[in-house]
Structure 1
């Protein structure tokens, strides 16, 4: 069974819904009963492994130089990676409409599983 995320934009507000359905079923359902501008994202084949002994819980701020807008990302980093690996992986990419010109690690905490 697939997994789909449907974003529903109503004016300035965006609502995110998750459905245990494939892309076609989620899209058909959303178009039939949901209001607003709809976008359906469907899960593809997973990559990597869900097995890890240790990892880092990371909170990163990215900032766009042109207008100083910023956003925050929280994620789990591989234990074999460190902060140095984050900068080239994030710089120049766009998240939440903000291009990552500047990357700052706000917190990084080792966690055992």
Structure 2
């Protein structure tokens, strides 16, 4: 089944939701039903390992030295990655409008999925 993600921006807030449709159908839906700006992302292909047993549940906070702004988010990382690799991968990237000039790994917990 086709699936598309719609990112809808209203003012300074952005909302994301998935629709069970291909890109063209999702675009038509958005044009006819949504206010503000929107972007439609369509899944073209998938790859990866469906049987992942071990992961890291990671929570990071990034801080911009210039603006002193901070943001925190959580994600699952490959179990083969260590804290330094994750910190290096996020350094100087921008998330939620904050350039991660300093990266703090707040939590890194082993998770097993059966």
When normalised by structure 2's length, the TM-score is: 0.88
**Alignment match, 1:110:** 110
CA offsets per residue over residues 61-92 of structure 1, 9 Å max, x none? 11111101111121111111110111221112
**Stretches of 4+ moved more than 4 A in 1?**
none
Residues in 2 aligned to 1:101 and 1:47: alpha-carbon distance in whole angstroms: 31
**Alignment match, 1:87:** 87
What is the aligned-residue RMSD (CA, Å)?
1.5
**Alignment match, 2:63:** 63
Residues in 2 aligned to 1:6 and 1:56: alpha-carbon distance in whole angstroms: 28
Instruction: Please give the secondary structure, in 1, of the residue aligned with 2:15.
Output: strand
When normalised by structure 1's length, the TM-score is: 0.88
How many positions carry a matched residue from both structures? Answer: 113
Give 1:1-113 correspondences, 5 Å limit: 1-113=1-113
The Cα shift of 1:57 comes to 0.5
Instruction: Please give the secondary structure, in 1, of the residue aligned with 2:73.
Output: strand
Q: Which is worse superposed, 8-17 or 66-75?
A: 8-17
